[in-house]
A and B are shown apart, each in its own frame.
Chain A
Amino acid sequence: MDNLTRLSFDVAVIGAGPAGIAAATVAGESGAATVLLDDNPAIGGQIWRGDLLAENNKEKTQWVERLKNSSAKLIPGAQVFHLGAETVAAETDDAVFQIEYRRLILATGAREFFLPFPGWTLPNVVGAGSLQALIKAGLPVSGKRVVIAGAGPLLFTVADFVRARGGIVLGICEQTSWNKLALFAWELSRVPGKIQDALRLRHGIRGIPLWTDCWPLAAIGGEHVEAVRLSRDGRVCEIDCDYLACGFHLVPNTELAVFMGCQLRGGFVEVDEHQRTTIRNVHCAGEPTGIGGVELALVEGQVAGYAASGREDAARQLFRQRAAHRRVVKPLRRAFCLRPELKSMAQPETFVCRCEDVPLKSLCEHNSWRAAKLQTRCGMGACQGRVCGPAAEFLFGWKMDSPRPPIFPVRCSSLAAISEDGALVEQKRKPAKPPEAVLF
């Protein structure tokens, strides 16, 4: 059995993206014994993901340096799989941690929102942000023909990035309308720093066709994707490609917050001015409280870090700055909200749940997420509904149930280690249910 390492901290921060790094740094600087956990091998989260071929950006380098100089302890590669009122359980490659905390800060970020369409399970059909992440992790795309589709400003960032790495971006397909996009660009000018970003990006993607009112109808191919069929201004067209990178903006990672019993509002974690959730000792910062990008995440992280370490005065100094950055949240939501036509991308035979290969036609017979889970195994696979859950909510209006322990697939030895100890089970606010027996 893996050794159980017991640790105790004043503040535990989960997620080492911008919000988590900022939170842990200021908590550490404020004298609180602080730990920062992240499931990736390296810190940075999605937006500051390390790149094999490029230097880190300046802002990231400065924050990481400040984190290192603080007293906060970092545990990378740590997957949180259970939470109690005062304890976090996490496993790394070769260890299991049980960490006591007084205050918990959830900085779990966001993931891409995926929608099913015929052929979306073909190799080389990936998410938009996914393609960027894979390139940063070493995937060569020089000379590869790439179509980028979906929704959100990430499509532009990825187009710029792919082209800089020698890929041939054949087009950006944005499902929203030109009018909404233009309004968004105008609204960005009211948010500090954003207009410069937008202009830089516009320069980066010059010459790449941008099609609005455009979305994928199917990915076509044998062993991997060879072409994409698009709906473009109401007409159907096909484009040959080596990669289809398709993501429909972001979905907040609220699983841990929901598991803790924190209240959500409109799909996001409800927080007060100190980033406190509705659970007494749990704070939340960054994308789970509203998709707003890196600058907002940094400020929210600092507010949470100061508040969790008893420095409400320092947190208060940041409220004005936070309000300025929050101005991006609503325009983002309005500009890239998904059009109803996207519900008809998936065909009866299209798999909605990729883990368990559950086609749309099997889901249509049910009237809730729970019924669909029980009858079809939708959302019961390894990803625990992280991909198909948000899709099913969009397609059918179904709300996902609260996650059950373990929150993430883990080694049996890790479960055994914490069960034997008993501390977590006793502290749970709900009666402990046995873990699902088959995780894969």
Chain B
Amino acid sequence: MGDTIIVRVNGKPVSVPKGSTVAIAVLIAGATSRISVAGEPRAPFCGTGSCFECRVAIDGRLHRRGCQVLCEAEMEITSNG
């Protein structure tokens, strides 16, 4: 296993392998990514960019697909928005 980096998911520091996507940080944090129209918590599903279930806010930018963005140190990830 290579290096790890620290990102924050909903304010909580989470250590992830370097090169991980934001979707993985959300899963490792035990968080979910979004709340559905009917109020269900949703987590990453397709892992490949087509389903949009993993969308979160990253450094204040809304609706980003977590599976398509690589984690960077100190990134602020906000889910369930």
Contact = CB atoms under 8 A, between A and B. Distances in A.
B48 A130 contact: yes
A134 interface: yes
Contacts of A70: none
Given A52-B17, A52-B19, A123-B32, A130 B46 contact: yes
A126 B19 CA distance: 21
Interface in A397-440: 409, 439-440
A139 interface: yes
B51 A386 contact: yes
A126 B67 contact: no
A207 interface: no
A219 to B, nearest CB: 12
A138 B32 contact: no
A137 B45 contact: no
Contacts of A354: 36, 42, 45, 51, 53
Given A130-B45, A134-B44, A354-B45, A383 B50 contact: yes
Given A123-B41, A134-B44, A41 B51 contact: no
B40 A121 contact: yes
A55 interface: no
Nearest to A51: B19
A126 B67 CA distance: 13
Contacts of A223: 41
Contacts of B27: 134, 139
A52 B3 CA distance: 11
Contacts of A130: 44-48
Contacts of A140: 28
Contacts of A439: 63
A97 to B, nearest CB: 17
B49 interface: yes
Given A121-B36, A124-B43, A134-B27, A111 B48 contact: yes
Given A130-B47, A138-B20, A351-B38, 18 more contacts: A41-B69, A52-B19, A112-B48, A114-B46, A127-B45, A127-B47, A129-B48, A133-B47, A134-B24, A134-B47, A137-B20, A137-B47, A138-B24, A139-B24, A139-B28, A223-B41, A357-B40, A387-B51
B49 A40 contact: yes
A130 B44 CA distance: 9
Contact of B70 (A41, A114, A386): A41
Interface string B2-28: 100000000000001111110110011
B10 to A, nearest CB: 15
A46 interface: yes
Contacts of B18: 52
B45 to A, nearest CB: 6
Interface of B: 1-2, 16-21, 23-24, 27-28, 32, 36-38, 40-53, 55, 63, 67-70
Contact of A137 (B1, B24, B37, B51): B24
A39 interface: yes
The interface centre, meaning the residue of B1, B16, B51 with most chain A CB atoms within 10 A of its CB, is: B51
Contacts of B38: 351, 357
B49 A224 contact: no
Contacts of B67: 133-134, 137
A112 B45 CA distance: 11
A253 to B, nearest CB: 8
Contact of A39 (B19, B28, B49): B49
A163 to B, nearest CB: 18
Given A41-B70, A138-B19, A383-B51, A111 B46 contact: yes
A382 B47 contact: no
Nearest to A139: B24
The interface centre, meaning the residue of A351, A354, A387 with most chain B CB atoms within 10 A of its CB, is: A354
A132 B44 CA distance: 13
B3 to A, nearest CB: 11
A355 B36 CA distance: 7
25 contacts: A39-B49, A39-B68, A40-B49, A41-B68, A46-B48, A121-B42, A124-B43, A127-B47, A127-B48, A130-B46, A130-B47, A132-B47, A133-B46, A137-B23, A137-B24, A138-B17, A138-B28, A140-B28, A223-B41, A354-B36, A355-B37, A382-B63, A387-B46, A387-B50, A409-B63
Nearest to B66: A137
A125 B53 CA distance: 12
Nearest to A125: B45
Given A121-B42, A126-B44, A382 B55 contact: yes
A52 B36 CA distance: 30
A354 B32 CA distance: 15
The 5 closest A-B pairs by CB, nearest first: A138-B20, A123-B43, A133-B47, A130-B47, A382-B52
Given A123-B43, A134-B27, A383-B50, A356 B17 contact: no
